[in-house]
């Protein structure tokens, strides 16, 4: 019923917007979701490989699987030029600290 009503609605929408809208059922949405999001970033309940999140939703875990985040001190020692890319004011601040 939802698909039929959505197709009726889409007849009144311009072509560009129609291409942006996709209506799926319980069995077809997982395939489409995996086209947009890599499986290692998607929770198992949505058809991915990442463990389902049940608590601690915020702040989100933005790390790539199998990696650890470096502290600022570690970042400066391992990649001294990185602070300039992390923060645009990094080079100016470092120059002031060096004075």
> What tens-digit pLDDT sequence spans the chain (99 residues)?
666 777 777 788 888 888 888 778 877 888 888 888 888 888 999 889 988 988 877 777 677 777 777 777 787 788 777 655 555 555 566 666 666
Task: Using the structure block, give the residue that is written with the tokens 């939703």.
Answer: 57
Please report the pLDDT score of residue 96 as a whole number.
64
75 Cβ partners below 8 Å, 6+ apart? 82, 83, 86
Res 94: pLDDT: 60
């Amino acid at each position: 019923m939802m698909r039929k009503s959505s197709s009726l609605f889409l007849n009144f929408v311009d072509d560009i917007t129609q291409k942006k809208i996709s209506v799926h059922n319980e069995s077809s949405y997982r395939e489409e979701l995996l086209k947009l999001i890599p499986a290692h970033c998607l929770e198992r309940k949505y058809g991915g490989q990442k463990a389902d999140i049940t608590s601690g939703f915020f702040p989100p875990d933005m790390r790539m699987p199998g990696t650890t985040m470096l502290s600022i001190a570690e970042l400066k020692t391992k990649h001294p030029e990185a602070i300039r890319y992390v923060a645009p004011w990094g080079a100016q601040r470092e120059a002031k600290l060096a004075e």
